[in-house]
């Protein structure tokens, strides 16, 4: 247990937040005014996020995830942008929860009945591959089934064992995952989300202000939520988060000393890119089509578009 204490405490310190570039927002001209309450200052045309607010948000989100997991419900990790994919999968698997890191197919929450049919199809194809069924098929049939299995695994592999709707969502970048946010709100599922200075925090039950573009920042936030799941039945995790309070007397001084040094420029420049620039057109989803009144999933059509 002492190892867990050291690991969690190392993840959630003021130093680790600063080193991960959590405080770097987007360019001032690209801000969302609804994020004003989370912004500490402006430096060289870049908004600086108030880490005091970030720490409090981490406490609230940690406790929310811990309570949901303790009640027996699952957490769904969502992050399809390139910088988030690896961390989302790694940490979700570490804590035994579900994830979507390739593409959010419309209806994953609002039309979960159809999604479950696709999950059953995926399991059937995997069974056919190992039980000798493929040995009685032609090469063309095997190729077609293998291609179908690969596509299903790519988009739905992270939720293959999810039998019911999750109890809470953890999202990286609410702009990129706008469809997932809309579906969760429609289904009444609470959301924990990392919100950058260009995001809208309204409607997010547990917004965590922070850099949602830098890989180190994304990894840090995802590790914290995964730790909340791991420590769901143990009060130790929560007490360690509360121990951050001893840093708060020094936070104002630390924030006042923030400047954009030359070594920070890489993080700042990286954060200035929009999600649209980072994502290829193949990954784009039309919100108007996905958020129709009768949301449904046409997996074949979705795959053909890739």
pLDDT in tens, 7-43: 443 346 788 888 889 999 999 998 999 999 999 988 8
Angstrom distance (rounded) from CA 129 to CA 303: 21
DSSP of 205-258, one letter per residue? SEEEES-SSSHHHHHHHHHHHHHHHHTTT-THHHHHHHGGGGGHHHHHHHHHT-
What is the rounded (10 degree) CA torsion for 303, 218, 179, 115? 50
Domains and CATH numbers, the chain: 2-109+165-281 (3.40.50.10490)
Query: pLDDT by residue for the chain (306 residues), tens digit each?
Result: 334 433 443 346 788 888 889 999 999 998 999 999 999 988 889 999 999 899 999 999 999 999 999 999 999 999 999 999 999 999 999 999 999 999 999 899 999 999 999 999 999 998 988 888 888 888 898 899 999 999 999 999 999 999 999 999 999 999 999 999 999 999 999 999 999 999 999 999 999 999 999 999 999 999 999 999 998 766 555 444 444 444 545 555 555 555 544 344 444 444 444 343 343 333 333 443 344 344 444 444 444 444
Residue 224, both tokens: 């914290």
Expressed in angstroms, the distance from the first to the final Cα of the chain is 45
Residue 207's closest CA among 95, 39, 12? 39
What is the distance of C-alpha 163 from the center of its chain?
A: 20
Q: What was the pLDDT predicted at 255?
A: 56
Q: What was the pLDDT predicted at 109?
A: 96
Angstrom distance (rounded) from CA 150 to CA 102: 13
Angstrom distance (rounded) from CA 16 to CA 295: 41
Q: What was the pLDDT predicted at 250?
A: 54
Q: What was the pLDDT predicted at 42?
A: 86
Q: What was the pLDDT predicted at 273?
A: 41
**25 and 48 in contact (C-beta within 8 Å)?**
yes
Q: What was the pLDDT predicted at 232?
A: 78
Q: What was the pLDDT predicted at 295?
A: 41
């Amino acid at each position: 247990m002492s190892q867990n204490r050291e690991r969690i405490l190392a993840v959630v310190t003021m130093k680790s937040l600063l080193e991960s570039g959590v405080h770097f927002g987007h360019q001032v001209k690209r801000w969302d005014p609804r994020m004003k309450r989370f912004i500490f200052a402006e430096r060289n045309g870049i908004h600086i996020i108030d880490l005091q607010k970030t720490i409090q948000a981490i406490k609230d989100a940690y406790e929310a995830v811990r309570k949901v997991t303790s009640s027996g419900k699952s957490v769904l990790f969502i992050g399809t942008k390139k910088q988030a994919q690896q961390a989302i999968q790694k940490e979700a698997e570490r804590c035994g929860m579900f994830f979507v890191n390739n593409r959010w197919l419309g209806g994953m929450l609002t039309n979960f009945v159809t999604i479950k049919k696709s999950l059953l199809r995926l399991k059937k194809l995997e069974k056919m591959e190992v039980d000798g069924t493929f040995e009685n098929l032609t090469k063309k049939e095997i190729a077609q089934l293998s291609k179908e299995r690969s596509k299903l695994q790519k988009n739905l592999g992270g939720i293959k064992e999810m039998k019911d709707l999750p109890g809470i969502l953890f999202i990286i970048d609410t702009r990129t995952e706008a469809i997932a946010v809309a579906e969760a709100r429609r289904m009444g599922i609470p959301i924990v989300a990392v919100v950058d200075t260009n995001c809208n925090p309204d409607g997010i039950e547990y917004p965590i202000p922070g850099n949602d573009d830098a890989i180190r920042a994304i990894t840090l936030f995802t590790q914290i939520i995964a730790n909340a799941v791991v420590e769901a039945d143990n009060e130790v995790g929560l007490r360690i988060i509360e121990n951050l309070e001893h840093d708060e007397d020094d936070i104002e001084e630390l924030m006042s000393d923030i400047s954009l040094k030359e070594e920070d420029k890489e993080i700042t420049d990286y954060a200035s890119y929009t999600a649209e620039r980072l994502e290829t057109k193949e990954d784009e989803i039309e919100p108007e089509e996905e958020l129709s009144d009768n949301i449904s999933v046409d997996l074949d059509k979705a795959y053909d578009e890739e």
